[in-house]
Homo-oligomer: A and B are copies of this chain.
Amino acid sequence: MEYALENVKVLDLTRVLAGPYATMILGDLGADIIKIEMPGMGDDSRAFGPYVKEESAYFMSLNRNKRSITLNLKEEEGKKIFKDLIKKVDVVVENFRPGTMEKLGLGYDTLKEINPKLIYAASSGFGHTGPYSKRAAYDAVVQAMGGIMSITGQENGKPTRVGTSIGDINAGMFTAIGILSALYRVKETGQGQKVDVAMLDSQVAILENAIARHVVTGEIPQPQGNRHPAIVPFETFETQDGEIMIAAGNDALWKKLCQAMDHSDLSEDPRFKTNPLRNENHSALKPILEEITQGKTTAQWQDILDEAGVPNGPINTIDKVLEDPQVKAREMILEMDHPKAGKMRVPGIPVKLSDTPGKIRRPAPLLGEHTEEILKEYFDYQDAEIEKLKEDKIL
């Protein structure tokens, strides 16, 4: 077996971000992802800019390692083909608004009758239960409701949206985790089940110590800028040409930092000797350190602090991330060769498996690119039948 998930077959009804992110994770590790799209239209995100030769870069970056089949699930013949496929796969994933699959007559209760081993995974804004279940959600809405915005932002500043769609992406990751856990159990017992992941739930699950702090102290966590709530110095400092993050996580690192800055006197200063003292005297210490950091460039400080073993890093913009030596060495930016758009750089695969490494085996598919291939592979369709189904707008 070349890939960890090589034998896993997934029917993928998902669109835009949360669902496609989940199936991309599985596809990267070898699962066969059959993306089912509406004839003539496809995944909504095919219409999201920017474009490369009329192909959406947004869509291409989320749909590698998937094959596309067009199938009209509103028509009886389309439903029939879908149900026939259900018999032959391990997983179906959708991120419609809850109730949509039931309206199509393709809800979990129907599908599990056809295939009791089936894992039915649903990723939605608020989940398949509870009072908000039927509401539409967008990433911005769940970031607002889920609390993360209330603790992100500059000190005393406004609540701030995380600049990546963490509401969607974390839901996609938990959906992948749910599918993989359910797959393991299928191996043990042969029984499928439903996986129900909500974007809002996923936001709550990543609040970590903000919840612990609140329930224990009653304090309501606020945006705290780029500073650690309890460790000093552990924040960004201005340099000659930008900013640098310095994280001196304990007293030993504090001493090393002072030495590296050629200011060993600071670590002897009674105001700054221990972390509790540095916390107390933060407003005195910050400008002293920043005057020093302003004397050199970010790159110079990186060299000095790396040499001294003090954790630090530049605040990389996206162009710098793509050029970072570690990012490159870890193959976290890969090139994908698309038949229409040509070569395009996309994020790599963060799950590094030593024996069965993931790979970009194929670029994102054109709409319906694999319709015939899949129908012939799974069933016995003849060209004429496929042609007829296309004319009837089933495919």
Contacts and interface: CB of A to CB of B under 8 A. Distances in A.
Interface string A131-160: 111011110111111111111111001111
Nearest to A312: B141
B149 A315 contact: yes
Nearest to A227: B161
A contact patch SS: mixed
Contacts of A164: 148, 151-152, 206-208, 210
A119 B29 CA distance: 16
A100 interface: no
A21 B4 CA distance: 23
Contact of A204 (B140, B184, B347): B347
Contact of A129 (B144, B330, B345): B330
Contacts of A329: 129-131
A228 interface: yes
A146 B57 contact: no
Total identical chains: 2
A138 B7 CA distance: 37
A224 B163 contact: yes
A30 B116 CA distance: 22
Given A147-B321, A205-B332, 20 more contacts: A17-B208, A57-B215, A57-B216, A135-B311, A137-B311, A143-B245, A144-B315, A145-B315, A151-B164, A153-B154, A161-B225, A180-B180, A181-B353, A182-B356, A200-B330, A200-B332, A204-B332, A210-B318, A211-B347, A214-B319
